[in-house]
Amino acid sequence: MIFVRIQRFAQVNMQWVLYCFIILCLCIILLNCNTGKRLKDKTISQPEKYQKSQVNGSNSLIDLNSAKTAELEKLPGIGERLARRIVQHREKFGKFRRAEHVMIVKGISDKKYRKIRHLITAK
């Protein structure tokens, strides 16, 4: 008698677990379908300033390790002071190993770096 009750309880529990699992799987499938549609609708494009520089024909990258202040000033958001800081940092600590290391320089935020990352290199 007790064994029959335990068996029914286990059977009901297993059914409940199975139903929950099926609902969870359906939710995951539906979420993935919606995400896929949104990703297909969005077009991934390069930043506007980078596209303009290619149109003008100046698509060569500026090397942070050899550029003078005048060259660095051509970058969007980089003025005379910031260009001077980049050159001073390079002279004091040596060459930049990677282009993103320019963010160490005071005044170059992540946002500013994202604007110029397609225009610079560190050779």
Secondary structure (DSSP) of 75-121: STT--HHHHHHHHHHHHHH---SSGGGGGGSTT--HHHHHHHTTTEE
Using CA atoms, how far apart are residues 85 and 110, in angstroms rounded to an integer?
A: 16
pLDDT tens-digit readout, 58-73 = 568 899 999 999 999 9
For domain 48-121, is the CATH number 3.10.310.30? no
Q: Which structure tokens are listed for 91?
A: 């002279």
Output the pLDDT for position 60. Answer: 85
Task: Output 36 or 123, whichever has higher pLDDT.
Answer: 123
Q: Which structure tokens are listed for 85?
A: 């800081």
Provide the sign of the torsion angle of the four alpha carbons 59, 64, 68, 73, taken in this order: positive
Strand, helix or coil at 29?
A: helix
Specify whether the CB–CB gap between 54 and 118 falls below 8 A. Answer: no
Specify whether the CB–CB gap between 23 and 32 falls below 8 A. Answer: no
The model carries a pTM of 0.52
Identity of residue 15? Q
Rounded average pLDDT over 82-89: 92
